[in-house]
């Protein structure tokens, strides 16, 4: 079963083909138009998706060497609703034209299950930490479609904190990759920052961001490398602490991370060496991609699902809820 996945929830237009043999095609087209605005401009994202969706899907089919897939899967949310609609409507129309089943995929479920793309040896149950620009949630993945939320942020997402701190430091958007690069040359113990936690399991990143701002106002001479390293170390410590707690709570020691922040070198190193059994997706499967959407589509298509073509975009969509 060859599944075409389409992703357009934010600022990447992506298409991929996944089958029982693995990933047959994996195309991601990033949008450059947002850089000048310091963040993603929803209207520009939708227009760029509309321009790119056909060439990107065609490139994926060509690269997989197929004329048409057996199933079409597309992200239906959560995300920027106008952006989601572009890939979703294209996917529904393509499924209709090809007369094949259609699966509406939850983008977060894509990140949650993304480690399965590159680790066929990973099996349920496992702990999956989704750390992206809009979400920071630790799930116990019990089976396909059965997820228990163990911890989440009570305010900012981890990626949002990276982006806001980068903006404060004048480093541009998106901030995560720049902070990651600077941090490798700084001293993580140079700036004393809090490790804010909310209760036993939940997380909080808004206070950390404020602590960075206050420090920079008082100590403008701080080397950007040291600020980046100290901030990153604080985020990583909180995330890894939550993984350890979740492992103790559930007795499950297989852990994975997904979402843009999972591309972070400091986090990857800390999770790989934290004593738990780590299954990290490669960096290009942490940031937004369509292979994870095709994977989720395939798992549900194998279970006989076929979503109605009246399915529409959901700007908010908790993982595990029916579409
Ligand atoms: O999963 P993603 O590509 O899109 C969403 O679904 O949100 O995540 C984007 C987020 C941004 O906040 C970006 O700054 C962050 O992931 N990010 C990183 C790194 N690469 C991307 N954060 C830290 N280190 C990185 N290397
Ligand atoms: Zn994402």
In this predicted model, which residue has the larger pLDDT, 95 or 196? 95
Using DSSP, state whether 147 is helix, strand or coil. Answer: strand
User: Do residues 188 and 69 both lie within one domain?
Assistant: no
Query: Which ligand has the minimum distance to the alpha carbon of residue 181?
Result: 1
Q: Which of 30, 115, 133, 184 to mutate to test the pocket of ligand 1 (most atoms within 8 A of CB)?
A: 133
Q: What does the pLDDT look like over 310-322, one tens digit per residue?
A: 999 999 999 999 9
**Is residue 311 situated within a structural domain?**
no
User: Do residues 141 and 96 both lie within one domain?
Assistant: no
Place of tokens 């991609």: 289
User: Do residues 97 and 241 both lie within one domain?
Assistant: no
- Return the residue whose CA atom lies nearest to atom 23 of ligand 1: 176
User: Do residues 188 and 232 both lie within one domain?
Assistant: yes
Position 196 scores a pLDDT of 82
Position 173 scores a pLDDT of 86
User: Do residues 98 and 193 both lie within one domain?
Assistant: no
Position 38 scores a pLDDT of 83
User: Do residues 97 and 140 both lie within one domain?
Assistant: no
Model-level pTM? 0.97
What spacing in Å lies between the alpha carbon of 210 and ligand 2's midpoint?
25
Cα separation, 130 vs 111, in Å, equals 6
Position 198 scores a pLDDT of 85
Pick the closest to residue 185 from 235, 237, 216, 227 (CA basis). Answer: 227
Percent of the chain at pLDDT > 90 equals: 95
User: Do residues 41 and 66 both lie within one domain?
Assistant: yes
Place of tokens 């095709």: 294
> What is the arithmetic mean of pLDDT over 277-304?
98
What spacing in Å lies between the alpha carbon of 106 and ligand 2's midpoint?
10
Percent of the chain at pLDDT > 70 equals: 100
- Site residues for ligand 1, CB cut-off 6 Å: 10, 132-134, 159, 162-163, 174-177, 180, 259-261, 263-264, 287-288
User: Do residues 109 and 251 both lie within one domain?
Assistant: no
Strands 71-77 and 102-106: parallel
- Return the residue whose CA atom lies nearest to atom 8 of ligand 1: 260
Cα separation, 95 vs 85, in Å, equals 15
**Is residue 321 situated within a structural domain?**
no
Q: What does the pLDDT look like over 78-106, one tens digit per residue?
A: 999 999 999 999 999 999 999 999 999 99
Q: What does the pLDDT look like over 3-33, one tens digit per residue?
A: 999 999 999 999 999 999 999 999 999 998 9
On the question of pLDDT at 145 being above 90, the answer is: yes
Q: Which of 39, 162, 316 to mutate to test the pocket of ligand 1 (most atoms within 8 A of CB)?
A: 162
Q: Which residues pair with 30 in a beta bridge?
A: 12
On the question of pLDDT at 35 being above 90, the answer is: no
| Nearest atom, ligand 1, residue 232 CA | 23
> What is the arithmetic mean of pLDDT over 138-162?
97
DSSP label of 282:
P
What mean pLDDT value characterizes the chain? 97
User: Do residues 135 and 69 both lie within one domain?
Assistant: no
For 81, phi then psi, to 5°, come to -65, -40
What spacing in Å lies between the alpha carbon of 172 and ligand 1's midpoint?
13
Place of tokens 């920052």: 193
pLDDT confidence tier of residue 210, bands split at 50, 70 and 90 = very high
Pick the closest to residue 24 from 54, 56, 69, 55 (CA basis). Answer: 69
- Return the residue whose CA atom lies nearest to atom 16 of ligand 1: 260
Position 129 scores a pLDDT of 98
CATH number at residue 72: 3.30.420.40
Q: Integer distance in angstroms from the first to the last C-alpha of the chain?
A: 22
Structural domains in the chain (count) = 2
What spacing in Å lies between the alpha carbon of 285 and ligand 1's midpoint?
11
User: Do residues 77 and 180 both lie within one domain?
Assistant: no
**Is residue 320 situated within a structural domain?**
no
Position 228 scores a pLDDT of 98
Cα separation, 223 vs 26, in Å, equals 39
**Is residue 73 situated within a structural domain?**
yes
H-assigned helices in 147-205: 158-168, 175-183
User: Do residues 43 and 89 both lie within one domain?
Assistant: yes
User: Which domain, by its residues, includes 189?
Assistant: 122-280
**Is residue 181 situated within a structural domain?**
yes
What spacing in Å lies between the alpha carbon of 175 and ligand 2's midpoint?
15
On the question of pLDDT at 39 being above 90, the answer is: no
User: Do residues 168 and 274 both lie within one domain?
Assistant: yes
**Is residue 163 situated within a structural domain?**
yes
DSSP label of 212:
H
What spacing in Å lies between the alpha carbon of 9 and ligand 2's midpoint?
8
> What is the arithmetic mean of pLDDT over 51-58?
98
> What is the arithmetic mean of pLDDT over 251-255?
98
**Is residue 316 situated within a structural domain?**
no
Reported as half-sphere exposure (CB side, CA atoms, 13 A), residue 254 has a value of 14
Using DSSP, state whether 126 is helix, strand or coil. Answer: strand
Record the tokens describing residue 190, joined without a space: 């140079």
């Amino acid at each position: 079963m060859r599944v075409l996945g389409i992703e357009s929830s934010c600022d990447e237009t992506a298409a991929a083909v996944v089958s029982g043999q693995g990933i047959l095609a994996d195309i991601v087209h990033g949008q450059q138009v947002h850089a000048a605005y310091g963040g993603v401009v929803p209207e520009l994202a939708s227009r760029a998706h509309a321009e790119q969706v056909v060439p990107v899907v065609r490139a994926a089919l060509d690269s997989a060497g197929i004329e048409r897939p057996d199933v079409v899967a597309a992200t239906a949310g959560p995300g920027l609703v106008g952006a989601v609609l572009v890939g979703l409507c294209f996917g529904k129309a393509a499924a209709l034209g090809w007369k094949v089943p259609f699966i509406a995929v939850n983008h977060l479920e894509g990140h949650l299950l993304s480690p399965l793309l590159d680790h066929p040896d990973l099996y349920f149950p496992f702990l999956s930490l989704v750390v992206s620009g809009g979400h920071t949630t630790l799930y116990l993945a019990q089976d396909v479609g059965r997820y228990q939320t163990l911890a989440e942020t009570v305010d900012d997402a981890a990626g949002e904190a990276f982006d806001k701190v980068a903006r404060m430091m004048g480093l541009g958007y998106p901030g995560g990759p720049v902070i990651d690069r600077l941090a490798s040359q700084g001293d993580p113990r140079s700036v004393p920052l809090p490790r804010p936690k909310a209760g036993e399991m939940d997380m909080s990143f808004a206070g950390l961001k404020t602590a960075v701002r206050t420090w920079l106002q008082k100590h403008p001479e701080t080397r950007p490398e040291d600020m980046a390293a100290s901030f990153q170390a604080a985020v990583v410590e909180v995330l890894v602490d939550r993984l350890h707690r979740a492992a103790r709570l559930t007795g499950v020691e297989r852990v994975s991370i997904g979402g843009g922040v999972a591309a972070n070198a400091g986090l990857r190193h800390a999770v790989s060496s934290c004593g738990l059994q780590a299954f990290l997706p490669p960096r290009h499967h942490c940031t937004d991609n369509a292979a994870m959407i095709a994977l989720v589509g395939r798992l549900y298509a194998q279970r006989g699902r076929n979503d109605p073509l009246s399915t529409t975009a959901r700007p908010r969509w908790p993982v595990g809820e029916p579409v």
